[in-house]
Each structure stands twice: as structure tokens, then as C-alpha cells.
Amino acid sequence: MTDVIVLNGGSSSGKSGIARCLQAVLPDPWLALGTDTLVDAMPASMQASDAGIEFAPDGQVTVGPEFRTLEAAWIEGVAAMARAGARVIVDEVFLGGADSQKRWQQALGELRVLWVGVRCDSAVAAGREVARGDRVVGMAASQADVVHRGMVYDLEVDTAHAESMECARIIAAHVS
């Protein structure tokens, strides 16, 4: 039985919407946790320090050593929740592509994971980003492709061509 579903895609690709729809269509309760949850939990000073996480005016995101330390603890914590019996949907942005996936693979270890690539045309994601109004403009376009570099997925969905609920149903069909 699948313990963890990892949704990886760029900003405004539709991961959070898919996660909410998965919670609605999957028969058991699933926790939805993601990188936004981690960033929101960090002190504001982490967003004003090159040791933390910085969002450049052009949408580029850079992370420093303090962020990486907290992120590592976060990843281990999510893995511990799954090992304790919580089924978890992870909503992530793998800025480091395959290196980011490796960090999660090491932490998740023996857990059964469904790796899902959430793709979205950069122009569509950029339009969503503007409509949202809560992201630095340029983030969606800068992340649309880089987050998928070197990644190995069990399944991919494309939110530029399918709504969140349709993507969730496709993913749910692969959850055992």
C-alpha cells in the first residue's frame, strides 16, 4: 500500500489543488504537507537572510545553509509521520531536481512512495501566478522545467491540459 505521494512541480503548476482533490477522492485520510508549509513555519528572518531562503525580484529562489538544515529536519519529520502510520501527500518544488529527489528518497527509505511529476506549460503557470497574486512574478516560469531535470517519476500529469480533479483521479488510480 502506498504510504507517501510526492507531487513535484514548479510554482503555480497545480500541486496544491491536486493534493486537495486527492484528499477528497482517496478512501483513507491523507495529510497534505508541502514546501509552503515549511516556509510558512520558518521565522520571517529566514526570508531576509542569505543563510535562509530568498525570493529574488525576477522569481529566482535561492536557499542557504540554515534553510537546508531546517529542510532536512522537515523531510525526516514527514518521513517519521509516514512511518508512524500517517499517509502523506507531499507538495514539493524540487529546485535541485534529482538531488532534491535523492534527499527525499534517503529519508523515505523503505516507505512505499508514488513519485508524481506535475507539469504545466510555463506560460499557463505564469498566468496562474499573476492571478494568485501571492507569488513573485517570474517564479513559475523559472521553475517550470528546472524542477523536473533528472527526475524519475512513476507517473506524470499535465495541469495545462487537465483540471486538478482529473489529475487527482489519474493519480488515485495508481495508489495501491
Q: Residues 144, 41: contact at Cβ < 8 Å?
A: no
Q: Residues 22, 170: contact at Cβ < 8 Å?
A: no
Q: Partners of 4 in the beta sheet?
A: 88, 113
Q: Partners of 115 in the beta sheet?
A: 6
- 91 labelled catalytic: no
Task: Write out the E strands in 1-119.
Answer: 4-8, 30-34, 53-55, 61-63, 87-92, 113-119
Considering 3, 36, 58, 134, which one is annotated as catalytic?
Answer: 36
Going 25 to 31 to 37 to 38, the CA torsion angle's sign is negative
Residues with a catalytic annotation lie at 36
